[in-house]
Structure 1
């Protein structure tokens, strides 16, 4: 897990708030946090919890996982995996059994690809690691 990059998170939140055309007070009210606390987060002075980030994300109508990545709580690969799973689970056109089967297939592909990548890395120890 990465360390918290609160400054980057604060800048990003301020940008998202402005894009949504919300004042600091409006976003604080919508997220259920105090105005001074949100201001401190935006200025990089506070480290918000995952719960607070989730509330702010909901108020901004953006992905909580995106904020988790910005805050260093979650890495990019974990975010992509969670979002993929969320999309599968939210699809109303397939039933629960089909969703579970699809997730099992997804997991098996991820494991197979990880094993292949590890095998390739072991075969070429002097080569640079693959970038994603």
Structure 2
């Protein structure tokens, strides 16, 4: 069987599996795929679906987006954007409204620099849970006031 053009996905998976000190069989069991199928992926003989890559990433405790890029499902810029968003959303030191404001600012800078999103709508997966949809930074009067108010709260711990 000829090797498919899936970048260095197989080699990368093998390295990650070995770093996690898992046998091929252990990883296959944890990811819910067959041992021969996982072996073929590692050898570059099979191109896995996004769903399989997500299962493998979860079993290895690594970023699924990284595997998507290596498999050619996602390009590098998209991965970087997703990772930036994930870091902002995962930060426990800021509240949900602050996360939403940061994402709005991030989107406005990306638009300003020519990285225009394909649609004006934020994909459901990118929305911050529990935060009402709000207008973009440019149309949002009060964003500066909200940021100043947050800064004032930080400066005055007794408020």
Structure-2-length-normalised TM-score: 0.66
Q: 1:105 to 1:8 in 2, by over 3 A?
A: same
3-state SS of paired residue (2:28): helix
Which range moved further: 115-124 or 44-53? Answer: 115-124
1:90 paired residue number: 90
- Work out which of the two has the higher radius of gyration on C-alpha atoms and give 1 or 2: 2
Q: Which runs of 4+ in 1 moved over 4 A?
A: 1-4, 114-126
Aligned partners of 1:124, 1:47: CA distance in 2, in Å? 53
Report deviation, 1:12.
1.1
Gaps of 5+ in 2: 114-141
CA contact under 8 A between 1:2 and 1:74: conserved in structure 2?
A: no
Which range moved further: 76-85 or 88-97? Answer: 88-97
Q: 1:115 to 1:103 in 2, by over 3 A?
A: closer
Which range moved further: 44-53 or 116-125? Answer: 116-125
Report deviation, 1:6.
2.2
Task: Considering Cα pairs closer than 8 Å and 6+ residues apart, tell me whether 1 or 2 has the greater RCO.
Answer: 1
Q: Which has the higher helix share?
A: 1
Q: 1:2 to 1:77 in 2, by over 3 A?
A: farther
RMSD over aligned Cα, in angstroms? 11.6
Aligned residues: 129
Give 1:5-84 correspondences, 5 Å limit: 5-6=5-6, 8-84=8-84
